[in-house]
Homo-oligomer: A and B are copies of this chain.
Amino acid sequence: MPKVADKSDHERALGKLGDAIRARRQALQMSQEALADASGINRTHMGEVERGKRNVSFMSIVKIANAMDARVSDIIAEAGL
């Protein structure tokens, strides 16, 4: 595949991850601010992560999963990745 398509795939992956994090959070009836605070992540950063606008680090994903009492691999599987 050409590089452009690859890049677009990777960017789409961030969007899918953000959607899966938001779905989990909403299922827990947790606000985005509460999840940010429980994860030790900046609230603006958390909003960008859920919108797939930030290339989140693995350690931040681990913190977010921990704050929702979820396995990282489950969230990523829910993202279809």
Q: Which of B56, B77, B81 is the one whose CB lies under 8 Å from A57?
A: B56
> Chain A binding site: helix, strand, loop or mixed by DSSP?
helix
A63 within 8 A of B: yes
Measured as residues with beta carbon below 8 angstroms from the partner, the interface class of chain A is 20 to 34
A54 CB to nearest B CB, Å:
9
Interface residues of A in 50-76 (CB under 8 A from B): 55-59, 61-63, 65-66, 71-74, 76
Interface residues of A in 4-52 (CB under 8 A from B): 6, 9-11, 13-14, 17
Query: Could you list some 26 contacts between A and B, CB below 8 A?
Result: A6-B66, A9-B62, A9-B66, A10-B62, A10-B63, A11-B59, A13-B58, A13-B59, A13-B62, A13-B72, A17-B58, A55-B58, A55-B59, A56-B57, A56-B58, A57-B57, A62-B81, A65-B81, A71-B77, A71-B81, A72-B81, A73-B73, A73-B74, A73-B79, A73-B81, A77-B77
